[in-house]
Amino acid sequence: MALTLDRRLFLALAGAGTGAAALSACGGPDTSGASTGAAEDLDFKDVKPAASIDFWSSHPGKSQDVEKELIAKFEAANPGIKVNLVTAGSSYEEIAQKFQTAQAAKSGLPAVVVLSDVWWFRYFINGSIIPMDALIKQLGFEVADYRDSLVKDYQYDGKQWAMPYGRSTPLFYYNKDHFKAAGLPDRAPKTWAEFAEWGPKLQAATKAKYAYMYGPMAGYAGWTLQNNLWGWGSGWSNGWDVTCDSPEAIEAIQWVQDSVYKDKWAGVSSKDQSDDFAAGIASATIASTGSLVGTLKTAKFNVGVGFLPGGPKSESPVCPTGGAGLGIPAGISKEEQLAAAMFIKFVGEPENTAAFSAATGYMPNRKSADMTKVLAKTPQIQTAIDQLAVTRVQDNARVFLPGADQEIAKSISAIVTQKADVTATMGGLKKTLEGLYERDVKPKLA
């Protein structure tokens, strides 16, 4: 599959109607229905904001308390508007399902909805969200002050379809006490080869069962393992060429399997690797920056954080971005849409994004956010901010092929929990991913 297809063309083609079965399979919204017809040029000049709106959130990074605080501040500044915080699911996928159900029923829609970086364009495809540009202009959003790489994730065809909210990168977490006991330097490993040397030392010097804990494969294996694939010189794909069965990719994933079964210094979490790490079961792990504050509160030891390790081919950049933004549904009144935009603008103000970052560990979305107090209390957040400069755009096969993320997770789970043959499994994964392309993308090229 040597065709080069950029993101703009893909989305334009996808807008013509992608396969319903594949999109439903990935846990996100079904895009087989008719478009809701989001207006291209919305005029809000003579609109008054609604008196009450619903905000659907999964409380990323255990952010429910800080979300309540931000809502209280917003209502105090805007006494004519009430914001109802609704727990719409425990994950981005659950919100996607709930949002799709409300779309189909044409009722019960929120005014503000959390959209992950992987899911937002699917809402765009079926016209479920509105472009925010008219609202941004009318309300005076300072878009230029948002961190460029984060705000651009929600831009398409010259329009802004959402604004950053709980944005993150993976971080390398390590137990400083364990590292000291093992005679290791107080830092993250520069490469995975270096950590492979450290693993047995950590197990010998501590009571930890594992030197390292992989996250549950049913979660975001496709997200975090891009780090290993990039470090070994490959990826899930190169543009739209699926490369998960390349010699480099096979070597990378074989190394991952060996760390669990052959070398036995790594484990695979059944629930949450951050919790396992904080409990002292493992000396190190990779988890979202959104887990940082919670991990620091829970752990009974000194926690260190660092950049993701590199591999034998690339030491940098080997870190993806991730997380969620806030969007506005198309199927609600202009009054609700205006109130929603006012709330999104308020949440994104420098002092509020700093407060959200302080409470969760997610990135401060604004360049001008004063992080002095936050960093004085949680200096580890600076590492996450610094790592933004060496992040890399995620592989197309993971974020744009419908259903691909779940197929990746299924294959990697078989490799690291059932000791499936790496070459055969990755070869099968390639066929599956190419099948998604052939069925849901290629037919639209004509």
In the chain the domains, ranked by start, together with CATH numbers, are: 35-167+323-369 (3.40.190.10), 170-320+395-445 (3.40.190.10)
Nearest of 287, 7, 230 to residue 120 by alpha carbon: 7
Phi, psi of 87 (to 5 degrees): -80, 100
Residue 28 confidence (pLDDT) above 80: no
Query: What is the per-residue pLDDT for 409?
Result: 94
User: For 210, which DSSP code?
Assistant: B
Question: CA 210, CA 217: separation in Å to the nearest integer?
Answer: 17
Query: What is the per-residue pLDDT for 443?
Result: 67
Question: CA 127, CA 119: separation in Å to the nearest integer?
Answer: 13
Predicted confidence (pLDDT) per residue in 246-297, tens digit: 999 999 999 999 999 999 999 999 989 999 999 999 999 999 988 888 899 9
Region 201-210: what's the mean pLDDT?
96
Region 411-431: what's the mean pLDDT?
97
Question: Which helix (H) or strand (E) segment is 2 a member of?
Answer: none
Write out the two tokens for 368: 């001008």
Give the pLDDT band (50/70/90) at residue 437.
confident
Residue 179 confidence (pLDDT) above 80: yes
pTM of the model: 0.80
Nearest of 378, 387, 363 to residue 309 by alpha carbon: 387
Question: CA 197, CA 106: separation in Å to the nearest integer?
Answer: 57
- Of 112-126, 132-146, 293-307, 322-336, minimum mean pLDDT range: 112-126
Predicted confidence (pLDDT) per residue in 299-309, tens digit: 999 999 999 99
**What percentage of the chain carries pLDDT values higher than 70?**
89
Nearest of 104, 105, 52 to residue 338 by alpha carbon: 52
Measured torsion, CA atoms of residues 191, 193, 199, 202, in degrees rounded to the nearest 10: -50
